[in-house]
Amino acid sequence: DDALRISEKTGGHNTFFLSSFYLGYCTSSSCEFERGIQHLNKMLEMSKVGRDLSNLSFINGLTAYIYIYQGRIDLAYQRSEESLRLAEKIGDMYVKGMAYSCYGASCYCKGLFDKAENSLSKAVTFCEKTTHFTWGALASSFLGDIYVNRREYRRSQDQYNKAISFLRSCSYCPSWINLEELSVARAKILSGDQDIDRSTLFKYHETNRIKIYEGLVARYTGEILLNLDDQNLSEAEDWIRKAIETNKRNGMMFHLGQDYALYAELFKRKSDKSKAKENLNKAIEIFKECGADGWVEKYEKELAALS
C-alpha cells in the first residue's frame, strides 16, 4: 500500500504497476476480491493508455483467476479469452503460458473439460520451457482436477506432483505445496489406495496460511475421510460442513457448489436420498448463478439418477 501511494504521488509508472499487480494478487488471496479487482482495473486503464499488450494480457489473466475464486465464471471466461487473444497476438511464449493457464482454468470452471485439458496442457508445455512456475503450477493443478473428475487417478497424481515440482523449484508458497500434496492424497484414496497417515492428513489444515485455500483443504480432507471407510462418515461430515461454512464466509461460490455436491455424495452413502437431492439442488443453483454450465449439466444428470 505504501509503495502504491508513493508511486501515485511521484508518477513512478513501474512501481505503480508492480504495486497494483501484487496488491491485486495478495488482497485476493485474502478473499478481498473486489479490492483486488479494483487494483487490477487501475492497471488495466494505465496499460490501455500505454498500449502495453503484454501487461494487458497479464492483467486480464490475473483478473480471470480472481473471478474464478469469486465464482463469477462467465466474467472469468471473458477476461481469459481476452488475455489469450492478446497473448497470441504478441506471440511471446512467457505470456502465452500464463494466458493458456487462465483460459484453461476458466474452461474447467465452465465445465468445458476437453477445451480445458487442451489449453492447460499447452500452458504446462510453455511454462516448462520458460520456467514460469506459478502459472505452470496452476495449469498442472487444474489438469489434475480434470483427471480426478474423469477417474483417471494416476494421471491426476502425476499432474499434482508436477505442480509441486514447479513450486519447489523456487521454494514458493508452502501452503500451496501442502494443498497439492493433499490433492495427491485425495487422488490416491479415490483410486482405492487406502495407505494414508491420518496424522499427516490433518496437518494440512493446521499449517495452511492462505485464506483462499481454507475451504478447499477442508473439503479435500472430508472427501478423503469419506472414501477411507464407513467408520469415518461422521468425521467426514464435520469437515464437509466446515468447507461449506468457510467458502460461504469467504465468498468463494464455485467452491461452495462443489462442497454441496460432495455433501450430497455423503448422504448417498448414508442412503438418505432426500438429503442427497436437497444438497445436489443447492449445488446446481449455485453453479447456475456462477455460469458453470457444464457442472449444472453434470449434477442435473446425477439428480435425475436419484429420482
pLDDT digits (tens, 9 = 90+) for 16-40: 666 666 787 789 899 999 999 988 8
How much is the average pLDDT of 223-235? 93
% of the chain at pLDDT higher than 90: 81
Q: 194 versus 186: which is more confidently predicted?
A: 186
- Please give the Cα distance from 304 to 240 (Å, whole number): 23
Residue 136 CB-half CA count within 13 A? 23
Cβ atoms of residues 136 and 101 within 8 Å = yes
Cα angle 205, 239, 262 (rounded to 5 degrees) comes to: 120
pTM: 0.93
Angle at 180 between CA 198 and CA 254, to 5 degrees: 105
In tens, the pLDDT along 117-159 reads 999 999 999 999 999 999 999 999 999 999 999 999 999 999 9
Rounded to whole angstroms, the Cα distance separating 81 from 92 reads: 16
* Chain centroid, CA 256 distance in Å: 12
Predicted pLDDT at 12 = 46
Distance CA 188, CA 204 (A): 16
User: Among 68, 223, 251, which residue's Cα sits nearest to residue 148?
Assistant: 223
User: What does R_g of the chain's alpha carbons equal in angstroms?
Assistant: 20
